[in-house]
Amino acid sequence: MNSSNFGPRPLFDEGQVRRALELIGEHEPIGRKKLAEKLGIGEGSMRTILNRLKEKGLITSTARGHVLTDKGDRELGERSRKFLEIDVGDLTVGKVSVATMVKDAIEKVRRGIEQRDEAIKVGAQGATTLVYRDEDLELLCSETQLDKEIKSELLEFFQPSENDIIVIGTADSKKYAERGALAAAESLSD
């Protein structure tokens, strides 16, 4: 079969579809151009994402922008993600680091390499996995101690509970660092 029959590959991933829904919930009403800018994708890709969300009944369009439907509100529910751009120094390899948290996901983490790989697949330079257990935040599979200021900032922002995971995506831009954090987190949400 000729691959040209399938059309061009989308220039976005499912994590960005999810993030678009979250951004609509955070900023509703919000226009297509602003959403595309926040996601770091083209307007054509944004149109496709918005059409997918409309087809699923998760959003609707108004004269002022896109808003969540009741179904969209329910879909977001507890899974809505918070992101924190944070300077973690030499802990990560990129210029920019963005963290997010996954509730009660310790059972889904093995070594953290899997989360790093998911981040790299979407254009980030990597991901660092942190575990909250015994009332402490620590690097997964490492004896290295987390800097007290970084730990304090992460704990204050996310307020994790026992067995929560914080992943930090890293890249040379916020766009790709956030994509990396999202992809790493989504790999733990399945």
Q: Could you give the CA distance from residue 40 to residue 37 in angstroms, rounded to a whole number?
A: 5
Please name the amino acid found at residue 91: L
Q: Could you give the CA distance from residue 46 to residue 37 in angstroms, rounded to a whole number?
A: 9
Q: Could you give the CA distance from residue 168 to residue 182 in angstroms, rounded to a whole number?
A: 9
Looking at the chain, list the stretches that DSSP marks H as alpha helix, in order from N- to C-terminal side.
Answer: 14-27, 32-39, 43-55, 70-76, 113-121, 148-158, 174-189
Q: Could you give the CA distance from residue 103 to residue 165 in angstroms, rounded to a whole number?
A: 6
179, 15 Cβ separation under 8 angstroms:
yes
Domains of the chain in start order, with CATH, are: 6-78 (1.10.10.10), 81-189 (3.30.1360.30)
Measured CA to CA in angstroms, residue 114 lies from 28, 84, 105, 119, 173 at distances of 34, 21, 14, 9, 22
105, 140 Cβ separation under 8 angstroms:
no
Q: Could you give the CA distance from residue 171 to residue 87 in angstroms, rounded to a whole number?
A: 12
Backbone torsions φ then ψ of 100, nearest 5 degrees = -145, 165
Comparing CA positions, the residue from 114, 97, 94, 93 lying closest to residue 105 is 114
At 5 the pLDDT is: 53
At 2 the pLDDT is: 46
Per-residue pLDDT of the chain (190 residues; tens, 9 = 90+): 444 455 555 566 777 888 888 888 888 889 999 999 988 888 888 999 999 999 999 999 988 899 888 888 777 765 567 889 999 988 888 899 999 999 889 899 888 889 999 999 988 999 999 999 999 998 876 777 888 999 999 999 999 999 999 999 999 998 889 889 988 998 887 5
Q: Could you give the CA distance from residue 115 to residue 128 in angstroms, rounded to a whole number?
A: 8
Q: Could you give the CA distance from residue 16 to residue 81 in angstroms, rounded to a whole number?
A: 12
